[in-house]
Amino acid sequence: MKRTILKKILSVFLAIGAFFSSVIGTLRTGDPTYGKKQIDLSDFTLVWQDEFDGDNLDTSKWGFEWWITMRKGGYWHEDMVSVKDGDLIIRTEYKDEPLEYRYNFKSDPFHPYQSGYYTGQIVTRDKYEQLYGYFETRCILPAGCGLWSAFWLMNEGVFNVDGDGRDGTEIDVFESFYYKDYAIGRDYISSNLHFDGYNDGHQYHHVATPLIQGDPYKEYNTYGVEWNPDEYIFYINGKEYARSSFGGVSQKPEYLLLSVEVAGDNGVPSYNPKAGSGDIRTTPSENWPVDFRVDYVRCYQYNELL
């Protein structure tokens, strides 16, 4: 009798374990083809690239025109962007004194720079846009809890509220915000799609949350998306992990962005990023300042579309 009860209890626990294992497996891989299908670059021609050689950002390719001061729990500033040792570097750092307005950006009376966490973003808006193809970056993610690095594509059609993503979709090739978040588990990125603006009409689809093999905060990995008239196909190190056609797939050219954000609101972080490692929700202070390092960005076009 006791054995029978124990067997029933054990079987229930095994069933629950299997269920959660399945859920977590889906969360990590996003698609059962992850790690199996390799992209074939012979189908494409390289049409635009930045290898981040030299000592300065190539402003013929990138700019700060898509710029605001306050961004979530911190501030965006062009001084946080540099090129060094063959990498683009977007640094996140606490500033006791507000940085000054530079470049061609005018003072924002509603969100003036103040003391706080500063980071940055660059964009190819008005410099380079592309319709369809394969878009890839190779980078090391910033090792800070709540730091939200991203490689994404946008156009102004994203703001059209018409129930359709074909006039423009925000394509998040990857976003990283799981560092030291043991509730989810670390070493993940997230891929997402957005259209119809960012207010009441906003439509959103979470594509996948794949687990990165190795340590993406210390090692370079490539993150890419193949975009064609029928679907978006997402890759890590050239291997497919998810597909989506949510919203009807953008049919308009889009520009590229690389950015880092600090989680929070109104310039105030949602945690103490510089706290010690005793709290798993915070970042060890020895990591600061924290860099998002990008080795290259490359854009390929389908051979048949050239």
Q: Is residue 43 over pLDDT 90? A: yes
Q: Tell me the pLDDT tens digit for each residue of 224-244.
A: 999 999 999 999 999 999 999
Residue of 122, 118, 123, 106 lying closest to 73 (CA atoms):
118
Q: From residue 1, how far is each of 4, 7, 11, 280 by CA, in Å?
A: 5, 10, 15, 45
Please give the pLDDT value at position 187: 84
Please give the pLDDT value at position 272: 60
**Who contacts 161 (Cβ-Cβ below 8 Å, separation ≥6)?**
196, 197, 199, 201
- DSSP at 27: H
Please give the pLDDT value at position 1: 46
Q: Are 68 and 101 in contact (CB under 8 A)?
A: no
Strands 232-236 and 221-227: antiparallel
Please give the pLDDT value at position 289: 87
Which pair of tokens denotes residue 41?
A: 């670059």
Q: Tell me the pLDDT tens digit for each residue of 181-230.
A: 656 667 889 999 999 999 999 999 999 999 888 889 999 999 999 999 99
- Of all residues in the chain, the percent with pLDDT exceeding 70 is 77
Classified by CATH at the fold level, domain 31-305 comes out as Jelly Rolls (2.60.120)
* Cα 194 from Cα 233, distance rounded (Å): 16
Which pair of tokens denotes residue 115?
A: 């003391």
* Cα 151 from Cα 36, distance rounded (Å): 23
pLDDT band at 141 (very low <50, low <70, confident <90, very high): very high
Q: Specify the amino acid at residue 83.
A: V
In sequence order, which ranges of the chain are alpha helices (DSSP H)? 2-29
Please give the pLDDT value at position 27: 39
Please give the pLDDT value at position 200: 94
- DSSP at 52: -
Beta bridge pairs of residue 119:
76
Q: Specify the amino acid at residue 174.
A: F
Q: Specify the amino acid at residue 148.
A: W
Q: Specify the amino acid at residue 183.
A: A
Beta bridge pairs of residue 278:
none
Which pair of tokens denotes residue 235?
A: 């890759």
Q: Are 275 and 145 in contact (CB under 8 A)?
A: no
Q: Is residue 34 over pLDDT 70? A: no
**Who contacts 89 (Cβ-Cβ below 8 Å, separation ≥6)?**
81, 82, 83, 291, 292, 293, 294
Residue of 53, 49, 35, 71 lying closest to 134 (CA atoms):
49
Q: Is residue 257 over pLDDT 60? A: yes
- Of all residues in the chain, the percent with pLDDT exceeding 90 is 61
* Cα 135 from Cα 132, distance rounded (Å): 9
Query: Which residue ranges make up each domain of the chain?
Result: 31-305
* Cα 84 from Cα 194, distance rounded (Å): 33
Residue of 126, 220, 235, 229 lying closest to 174 (CA atoms):
235
The pTM for the full model equals 0.85
